Amino acid sequence: MKMKAAIYTGIEEIAIREVERNEPPPGFVLVDTKQTGICGSDLHSYFGHWGQSHEHAAGHETCGVVTALGEGVTEFDIGDKVAVECFSHCGTCKYCETGQYNLCFNRAWISPNMHGGFAEYTATHHSGLFKLPKRMTFEQGALVEPLAVSHRAIARSGANSRDTVAIIGGGTIGQFALADAVAAGVKETLITVKYEQQAALAKTLGADHIVNISDTDVQDYVKDVTNGIGFDAVIETVGGAENFNTATTIVRKQGAVVLVAGYYKPLEVNLSTIVWSEAFITGSNCYGYSGMETDFEAAIELIDSGKVDATKLVTHYYPLDEISEAFRVSADKTSGAIKVHVCQE
């Protein structure tokens, strides 16, 4: 059977193609995709920073309805509303057995050699699927994946209700990190932004400090508001040497820096600040378990309960046929874009 899929056709080019629909192999299910967000990592591919597939559709911030079950899949039914992790895991290696399944030895792309969410249907491995509550909208469902990323980053910082949290970057992951920190009840939050729409959104999400990097020096600002101490935790969501250096400078001594950005090339950075401050620097890799529950379960609960009003982030909606315009708008933040959704409802 044929279906439509959006395929990268060159640098800053993506187009709709007629392709063969994937039937789900053993262990996979077929999902009728309903809404899919354009992620910063999709833009890295769009710009050619990372490799582009010229054969298969990308799209990992996706949700939809199960329409067919591959052999051996018993925990899902046709008609289930689901959200999808971007990778599959084996369930039996050392890391899977200890609940660190995002570090699985046999981790693979959720739809290997198959189409992702920027196609009418995606075949996804059952290990990365989560059922959504019936009342959840597809728009909310597509936001589970990025919120899970931010939830893990906040969890990995170890921040508690007495801690102050600074977030570098006003894009989706930064805004969701802010929303997650506010929902968790941390003491004080700061977010750096570059565009008007990011500042306006951060305000509605409850940020205590919004620092626009185009007119304010972040390091001076933090020095002022913390009496030179710095923030207990810093979440770096943007990438680049300058942001790394800012993160390690505005964190307090022995504070935590969590890196959750797309680093697509090696950087020249200042490491002596870390020696002097004894700060802890760590990464945050997609999502897995944070405490007793998975980051996906936590994100579903945060959205379903209304603790995080996730759809506030979505600024633009396009049908699949207009995906090239959707990417253009998403890539150009002067368009007012934060999260752009590709819709197939």
Contacts to Zn ion by CB under 5 A? 39, 41, 89-90, 93, 96, 104
Nearer to Zn ion, 190 or 258 (CB): 258
Distance CA 198, CA 214 (A): 13
Please, which residue, 83 or 251, has the CB nearer to Zn ion?
A: 83
Query: In terms of CB distance, is 150 or 248 closer to Zn ion?
Result: 150
Host H or E run for residue 67? strand 61-69
End-to-end CA gap in the chain = 20
Specify the residue, 39 or 320, whose C-beta has the smaller distance to Zn ion.
39
Return the SS3 of 85.
coil
Q: How far is the CB of 28 from Zn ion (least distance, A)?
A: 17
Interhelix angle 241-250/218-225, nearest 10 degrees: 10
Give least dist CB 41 to Zn ion, A.
5
Buried b (16+ CB within 10 A) or exposed e, 20-34: ebbebeeebbbbebb
- Closer residue to Zn ion in complex, CB, 21/341: 341
Copy the structure tokens of residue 318: 């396009």
Q: Note whether 253 and 233 are within 8 A (CB).
A: no
- Smaller CB separation from Zn ion, 87 or 231: 87
Q: In the bound complex, what is the minimum distance in angstroms from residue 264's beta carbon to Zn ion? A: 14
Least separation in angstroms between residue 309's CB and Zn ion is 20
CA–CA distances in Å: residue 275 to residues 106, 159, 229, 230, 278: 35, 22, 16, 16, 5
Q: How far apart are CB 89 and Zn ion at their closest, in Å? A: 5
Q: How many Å apart are CA 331 and CA 204, to the nearest integer?
A: 23
Considering the complex, state which of residue 116 and residue 255 has its C-beta at the smaller distance from Zn ion. Answer: 116
- Give the shortest CB-218-to-Zn ion separation in angstroms: 25
Return the closest-CA partner of residue 115 out of 4, 193, 34: 4
Cβ atoms of 68 and 175 within 8 Å: the answer is no
Per residue, the 3-state secondary structure of 230-256, as one string, reads CEEEEEECCCCHHHHHHHHHHEEEEEE
Considering the complex, what minimum distance in angstroms separates the CB of residue 104 from Zn ion? 3
